[in-house]
């Protein structure tokens, strides 16, 4: 397949269109404004709709409205914008609607800065909004993987009627890399949502009701438990991860997204010196591959987590390892990217 040199944000946008997304609502924010810009240019070309809302609060509710009609819809934003969307995301999850969010994470908290970060991990995986709900979260390490996960995100959202989040950062969003795009999905082949979507009764059927609102605790609890049983299926079926040079590894580096990639350089560097180290890279952050990671406790002397935050992802690693082995941490924050030499030096200190 022919490759193009694509920018991260643009690759994600094109992948969404190829997945059959024809509705994009957005509000520009650095470092992902090129995604919004790409959609503004591209949606009219493919007969889709691009609409810039007056704020992220408006945007998330536009996504809610489009999803309720059963159409593939997405939005993209960066950290402060994603915070603004949390109320709407909780409603969307409560109403059980499929849609895709992209958060190109930047340094925080607050307005922070515009450099790459992974400090929205808690918000992404532990529920940024209120109530008992989950986002399904995927995090790519390369642009090719970003393209594939974006397209896959729409399928998973449809399969479980749940919002899916592509969690990436400004490094992947801004960088360029060769990418080959899969073919366009045939719009007629998309999943049929006519059994629940608000698509117009045509006076021929009862009106559908889609809502997160239920004043009766007994009935709401029943509904929440149904959602929970759906999440059990997600945990069973949707765990994704990569193992790199783990076969004989005595040290397991655990990292995701951009860091999951950078630490592979550290492994290559360490292996040249005869240090047996490998990488476990979760691709689905929720559901987190607890069991799959835990397995390496038998072989590894310790785990080493590297992330672009002050220690969020490391908590899930500790849950997985269950105290069987030490879990070390190294991270930078505020938009600073740990470099391979820096991580390698830290690794040497630990040995």
Partner 1 sequence: MAYHSVISAGFGGQGVMLFGQILSMAAMFEGKFTTWLPSFGPEMRGGTANCTVIISDDYIASPVVDEPTEVVAFNLPSMLKFEKILKENGILIINSSVIDTKPHRENIKVIKIPANDIAEELGNKMVSNMVMLGAYLKATKAVTLKSIEKALQERLTGKKSDLIKINLEAIKAGMKEVVK
Contacts with partner 1 by CB under 8 A lie at 3, 5, 31, 113-116, 170-171, 174-178, 261-265, 267-268, 335, 337, 339-342
The Cα 213–Cα 160 span in angstroms is 19
Give 239's contacts (C-beta < 8 A, 6+ positions apart). 284, 287, 288, 289, 292
Burial of 236 (0-12, 13-18, 19+ CB in 10 A): exposed
Instruction: Report the nearest approach of partner 1 to the CB of residue 96 (Å).
Output: 38
Say if CB 242 and CB 260 are below 8 A apart: yes
The Cα 8–Cα 145 span in angstroms is 10
Distances (CA, A) of 47 to 106, 124, 217: 32, 32, 43
Minimum CB distance to partner 1 smaller for 45 or for 188: 45
Closest to 191 in 3D by CA, of 18, 14, 19: 19
Instruction: Report the nearest approach of partner 1 to the CB of residue 85 (Å).
Output: 24
Minimum CB distance to partner 1 smaller for 230 or for 271: 271
**DSSP state, residue 11:** H
Residue with tokens 């040290």: 251
Work out whether the CA dihedral 156, 160, 166, 167 comes out positive or negative.
Answer: negative
Instruction: Give the containing element (helix H, strand E) for 320.
Output: helix 313-321
Minimum CB distance to partner 1 smaller for 51 or for 175: 175
Instruction: Report the nearest approach of partner 1 to the CB of residue 25 (Å).
Output: 27
Q: Which two tokens stand for residue 273?
A: 């010196």
Instruction: Report the nearest approach of partner 1 to the CB of residue 93 (Å).
Output: 32
Closest to 346 in 3D by CA, of 334, 330, 332, 333: 330
Q: Does the bond joining 109 to the residue before it have cis omega, within 30 degrees of 0? A: yes
Instruction: Report the nearest approach of partner 1 to the CB of residue 101 (Å).
Output: 23
Instruction: Report the nearest approach of partner 1 to the CB of residue 259 (Å).
Output: 10
**DSSP state, residue 308:** S
Minimum CB distance to partner 1 smaller for 110 or for 323: 110
C-alpha of 175 from chain center: 18
Instruction: Report the nearest approach of partner 1 to the CB of residue 326 (Å).
Output: 25
Instruction: Report the nearest approach of partner 1 to the CB of residue 115 (Å).
Output: 5
Minimum CB distance to partner 1 smaller for 68 or for 343: 343
Instruction: Report the nearest approach of partner 1 to the CB of residue 4 (Å).
Output: 8
Minimum CB distance to partner 1 smaller for 211 or for 341: 341
Minimum CB distance to partner 1 smaller for 17 or for 267: 267
Minimum CB distance to partner 1 smaller for 144 or for 150: 144
Give 132's contacts (C-beta < 8 A, 6+ positions apart). 224, 227, 228
The angle formed by the CA atoms of residues 334, 338 and 305, to the nearest 5 degrees, is 100
Minimum CB distance to partner 1 smaller for 12 or for 262: 262
In 68-142, DSSP assigns E strands to 73-77, 99-105, 136-138
């Amino acid at each position: 397949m022919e490759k193009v040199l694509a920018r991260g944000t643009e690759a994600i946008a094109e992948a969404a269109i190829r997945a059959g997304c024809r509705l994009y609502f957005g509000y520009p924010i650095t470092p992902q404004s090129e995604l919004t810009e790409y959609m503004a240019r591209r949606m009219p070309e493919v007969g889709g709709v691009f609409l810039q809302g007056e704020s992220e609060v408006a945007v998330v509710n536009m996504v809610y409205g489009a999803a309720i009609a059963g159409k593939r819809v997405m939005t993209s934003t960066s950290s402060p914008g994603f915070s603004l969307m949390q109320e709407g995301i909780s409603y969307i999850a409560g109403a059980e609607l499929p849609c895709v969010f992209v958060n190109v994470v930047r340094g925080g908290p607050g307005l922070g800065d515009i450099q790459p970060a992974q400090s929205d991990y808690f918000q992404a995986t532990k529920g940024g909004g209120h109530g008992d709900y989950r986002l399904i979260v995927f995090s790519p390490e390369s642009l090719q993987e970003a393209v594939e996960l974006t397209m896959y995100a729409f399928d998973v959202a449809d399969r479980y009627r749940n919002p899916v989040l592509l969690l990436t950062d400004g490094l992947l969003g801004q960088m360029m890399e060769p990418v080959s795009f899969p073919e366009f999905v045939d719009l007629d082949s998309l999943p049929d949502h006519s059994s629940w979507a608000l698509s117009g009764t045509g006076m021929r059927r009862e009106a559908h009701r889609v809502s997160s609102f239920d004043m009766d605790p007994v009935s709401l609890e029943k509904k929440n438990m149904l959602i929970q049983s759906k999440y059990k299926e997600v945990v069973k079926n949707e765990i994704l991860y990569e193992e790199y040079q783990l076969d004989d590894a005595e040290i397991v580096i655990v990292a995701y997204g951009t860091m999951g990639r950078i630490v592979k350089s550290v492994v290559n560097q360490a292996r040249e010196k005869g240090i047996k180290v490998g990488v476990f890279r979760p691709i689905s952050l929720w559901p987190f591959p607890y069991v799959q990671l835990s397995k390496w406790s038998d072989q590894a002397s310790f785990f080493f987590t590297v992330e672009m935050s002050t220690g969020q992802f490391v908590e899930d690693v500790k849950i997985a390892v269950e105290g069987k082995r030490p879990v070390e941490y190294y991270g930078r924050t505020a938009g600073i990217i740990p470099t391979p030499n820096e991580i390698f030096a830290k690794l040497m200190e630990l040995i």
